[in-house]
Structure 1
């Protein structure tokens, strides 16, 4: 799961650095929180499993929301530019 989150974060950061929109930076930031949670658990093996699972699940929702809102806004702007 860490590898998937790390790859997602790396790709989101690459996209955010090349984009002129704000939502990729928000998405990358939320992905970073997930990666940091994995690293915190690796540094503290006796970290409560409930806290770990809740923090992983919690930050996935804002990440999905930023992705959905960014996609919706992009499509809305594309339709507005069409004649």
Structure 2
């Protein structure tokens, strides 16, 4: 796979995303907060986007990146809410 190959899945990025999913699922199970559940849900959608593109590489690249970025923004929002609420324990 060439460095700028736009038709194949980026396996190192997939491995990082799966690792992050495992960690967020761990947080979601053992934390007594709601934001890890939302962050894990968005991360699951990110991994599902990877898997979908791996199974169907003929899908349009813009659709893959659009979905990936959409889920990433949702996950960042969940993490931001979690960070904000952690700094404000009266809201947790």
Q: Normalization by structure 2: what TM-score?
A: 0.81
Structure 1 residue 13, shift from structure 2 partner: 0.3
State yes or no: 1:39 paired with 2:56. Answer: no
d(CA) in 2 for partners of 1:45 and 1:66? 30
Which has the larger displacement, 56-65 or 27-36? 56-65
Q: CA RMSD in A?
A: 0.8
Is 2:71 aligned against 1:59?
Answer: yes
- Please state whether the residue corresponding to 1:64 is helix, strand or coil: helix
Offset of residue 29 of structure 1: 0.2
Gaps of 5+ in 1: none
Tell me the equivalent position of 1:10. 22
Q: TM-score, normalised by structure 1?
A: 0.90
* Number of aligned positions between the proteins: 78
Aligned counterpart in structure 2 of residue 68 of structure 1, from 80, 84, 88: 80
1 or 2, which has the higher helix percentage? 1
Q: What residue ranges of structure 2 are gaps of 5+ in the alignment? A: 1-12
